[in-house]
Structure 1
Amino acid sequence: MLLIYNIGISLYFCAIYVASFFNKKAKLWLTGRNNVVYKKFEKSLWFHFASLGEFEQGRPLLEHARKNQPETKIVVTFFSPSGYEIRKNTPLADTVYYLPLDTASNAREFIEAINPEAAIFTKYEYWYHYFNELHKREIPLYVISGIFRPEQVFFKWYGGLHRKMLGFVTYFFVQDTTSKELLQTLGVSNVEVSGDTRFDRVWANAQHPTELPVINQFKNDHKLFIAGSTWPDDEALVATLVKDYADWKFIFAPHEIGEDKIEKLISLLPLNSVIRHSQIAVKAPPNPPQKGGLLITTDTKVSPTGGALERAYQTLIIDNIGMLSSLYQYADVAFIGGGFGVGIHNTLEAAAFGLPVIFGPNYDKFKEAKDLISIKGGYSINDEPELKATVAYITEDIQRYNETCREVKDYVMQNTGATKTIADHIHL
């Protein structure tokens, strides 16, 4: 099995190499791992995250470690460019790397360099050679906010190597009882139901969100519908609401912000109704339309018109990464993208502000989505009629809407505390 695993790793590298000639993300993945000289530490604490979402999920524990052990060097690694490129300069780490490809020599070289006292992996990503090397050196390895489902490879007849990896983990901190029980069927008893550290992260953010004056000006006392982390299928659906809710404002924050993606989204909105914020900030165009779309860039300073131009538009498109978690403070209803693809994105960022959340049908892997549905704070839709019926249901009864908002917010608050549980256990 190990031979097959090693061959698979080699084939994966070859696939990335070929893709790098025409795919920007693959090129970043490859070049970011070339000719890297790793800093040598006498000791460190190693946090690994698959991507940006896992970084935000594990961030509360990372912040706790930085605050309580300021003398300890912290090493952060990412597998994906979407995490590394955005958080490579985070002040929470002393150094940030792409995780080298999982080979025995890479694992040995990397671990020898950073010399971790402990390694903490968030949610998932199980790499045989790294786990094995940590185990051989008797370095504690923790998996936090873990989630396990019967369809995962660990529970298949061919999952022997992955079951072996579980044996290299010092302790599992899982999100729910189901995960603990599944691990126990494999004889894994070093596990605790601690909850999900994402609740701590989103709750803290909701208590002290970054103020965005230009968004407040754009909203201008209207109801606001935010579509966050959207993909084209999501955007095509939400765009149909714009004409039906002419007295509402709309914000789209796409998951991918390449120029072609933004232009395609703009094409779904009324013709000749889109203007870039960079143009507004330099020179206000004459005769702005009364309704339509506004494209806001990473430059979010207020326009020379004092906000009047922003207020003239109905739809705003965010083309930067990092604003979404603060945008939700201004919203009344949120749509979370990804549900028509491999799975929905972060519903908890919106729920922490007490927002009802709508998403597509692919949410089975997300416990929090099921929980929100159970308290009637989350709604899964399959098509345009269901979306419109759901929005109408959420907004037509103000008393029911307010009760829903309270229940959603309480749900998030009541599920905080995982960070403290984990930190106390591993003495961070």
Structure 2
Amino acid sequence: MSFLYNIAIQATGLALKGIAPFNEKIKKGVLGRKETFSILKQNINEADKTLWFHCASLGEYEQGLPVFKALRAYYKNHKIVLSFFSPSGYEIRKNSPIADMVVYLTLDSKKNANTFLDIVKPELTVFVKYDIWPNILNQLKKRSLRAILISAVFRKNQPYFKFYGHFFKQALFAFEYIFTQNDSSKTLLESINYKNVSVSGDTRFDRVSSQLELDNNLPYIKTFKDNKLCIVAGSTWPEGERLLSNFINTNINLDVKYIIAPHNIKTGEILNLKSNLHCKTVLFSEKSNNNLKEAKVFIVDTIGILSKIYNYADIAYVGGALGNTGLHNTLEPAIFGIPVIIGNNYAKFPEAAAMILQGGMFSVANQTEFNDNLNQLIKNEALRLQSGQKNLQYVKENKGAVIQILNYLRI
């Protein structure tokens, strides 16, 4: 399996280079990985002590951030390396203040693994949720370097738990400790005789809870809302935007404001969304030249402010689960005590299933269900407030993963 894996890594590298000229996201990853070792060499000296945090993408970064911040504060004299595999994480957080350098993780060849660790030599490595790379993890273990995995989720169909998965299973044993989100993941690890595991829960609950301690005021959003009922659609994709656009266009007379924050903010897609709306619509980039109170829809064609915008929502829709892209962060709106509507493809997101069961979240599969649920929440204030409070209570009850992790690390 090791031989086949390494062949696959080489083939993947060649394939990505071949596709890069035709795909902007892949191109950024290919070019970024070329710079990784030079960035590390320029910033790390032989005498430096280091920590290494690795995340697949932006979601995992947000998940690990409370732990990263605590480690940053404790290890004041260490240099911190933050790595991403996906451009969508790197491009948005390449200037993260919790790290001294942010890089793309190189492809997991044996040569790259050795070179990376020869330069970084991390005293402690923290991986978030998954993105488990066997060569680099096996090298960490071989060099007796500490590594932990936090907010981990496992499923029985993964190769770690199959008869042919010995090579991948070895990688898990490179972690000195694994903190899982749920009992089923812990049971799976114990089934392969991995014992250094406990259920800490999901660090995202701690992450979103800290949002309430920040200044979430956005004066231009307050002006736009104008004390009206406000629906915020976050991290939307075209399939969800179609449902929302149809609802808006057929309910023009409703005294409701709408904020849409698309996942992709490409100019063409933003303008297409705007053109499909039959009412006064303003883009974030146009806000200075418009009377925001007169607008019915505000489209956020920028990044980094959605978590604050949810502070102004009375109802939220979170994108991803209507298609195959994966449900985006539903805990961000939930912490503000508002009901949330999502698509129907949420099987891999236990927090969504839990909030649906408790009555704070509503799943829809088509336009009719979307309209029915949204209309009910708009018109029934008691239901809206009650549902929102159930979401807030759910988040509060599931905090505490960060404390468990830091206690283990004796911080």
Relative to the length of structure 1, the TM-score reads 0.91
Aligned position for 1:317 = 299
Deviation string 1:135-158 (CA, Å, 9 cap, x unpaired) is: 001111100000112232323343
Matched, 1:132 2:115: no
Deviation string 1:308-346 (CA, Å, 9 cap, x unpaired) is: x11111011111111111110000111111112232010
Aligned position for 2:335 = 352
Identity of paired residues, percent? 40
Deviation string 1:183-238 (CA, Å, 9 cap, x unpaired) is: 11121111110111111111111332431111111111111111111111111111
Q: Secondary structure at the match of 1:196?
A: coil
Matched, 1:336 2:318: yes
Amino acid in structure 1 at the alignment position of 2:272: K
Aligned position for 1:15 = 15
Aligned equivalents of 1:260, 1:86: Cα separation in 2: 20
Matched, 1:147 2:153: yes
Relative to the length of structure 2, the TM-score reads 0.94
Matched, 1:362 2:345: yes
Aligned position for 1:3 = 3
Aligned position for 1:40 = 44
How far is 1:72 from its partner? 1.8
* Alpha carbons of structure 1 residues 311 and 176: separation in structure 2 relative to 1, 3 Å: same
* Alpha carbons of structure 1 residues 318 and 421: separation in structure 2 relative to 1, 3 Å: same
Matched, 1:94 2:77: no
Which residues in structure 2 correspond to 1:31-180 (within 5 Å)? 31-35=31-35, 36-37=37-38, 38=40, 39-41=43-45, 42-180=48-186
Amino acid in structure 2 at the alignment position of 1:357: V
Aligned position for 1:200 = 206
Amino acid in structure 1 at the alignment position of 2:11: L
For structure 2, the residue ranges without an aligned partner over 5 or more in a row are: none
**322-331 or 16-25, larger mean C-alpha shift:** 16-25
How far is 1:393 from its partner? 2.8
Q: When the two structures are aligned, how many residues end up with a matched partner?
A: 402
How far is 1:398 from its partner? 1.9
Q: Secondary structure at the match of 1:100?
A: coil
Aligned equivalents of 1:224, 1:158: Cα separation in 2: 52
Amino acid in structure 1 at the alignment position of 2:292: E
Amino acid in structure 2 at the alignment position of 1:323: I
Aligned equivalents of 2:190, 2:127: Cα separation in 1: 20
Aligned position for 1:247 = 255
Aligned position for 2:356 = 373
Aligned equivalents of 1:362, 1:143: Cα separation in 2: 27
Aligned equivalents of 1:394, 1:351: Cα separation in 2: 15
How far is 1:304 from its partner? 6.7
Matched, 1:409 2:398: no
Amino acid in structure 2 at the alignment position of 1:259: T
Deviation string 1:49-91 (CA, Å, 9 cap, x unpaired) is: 1111111110000111111221121111111111111111111
Aligned position for 1:233 = 239
Q: Secondary structure at the match of 2:33?
A: coil
Q: Secondary structure at the match of 2:139?
A: helix
Amino acid in structure 1 at the alignment position of 2:142: K
Aligned-pair RMSD on alpha carbons?
1.5
Aligned position for 1:396 = 379
Higher helix content, 1 or 2: 2
Aligned equivalents of 2:310, 2:174: Cα separation in 1: 40
Deviation string 1:10-59 (CA, Å, 9 cap, x unpaired) is: 12112211221021111110111114412334321110011111111100
How far is 1:401 from its partner? 2.1
Aligned position for 2:275 = 267
Asked whether the 8 Å contact 2:55–2:84 carries over to 1, the reply is: yes
Amino acid in structure 2 at the alignment position of 1:293: T
Amino acid in structure 2 at the alignment position of 1:122: V
Aligned equivalents of 1:70, 1:85: Cα separation in 2: 25
Aligned equivalents of 2:343, 2:223: Cα separation in 1: 30
Residue of 280, 295, 309 corresponding to 1:292 = 280
Q: Secondary structure at the match of 1:33?
A: helix
Aligned equivalents of 2:359, 2:375: Cα separation in 1: 14
Deviation string 1:276-329 (CA, Å, 9 cap, x unpaired) is: xxxxxxxxxxxxxxx4211112x86xx377xxx111110111111111111100
* Alpha carbons of structure 1 residues 209 and 348: separation in structure 2 relative to 1, 3 Å: farther
Q: Secondary structure at the match of 1:97?
A: strand
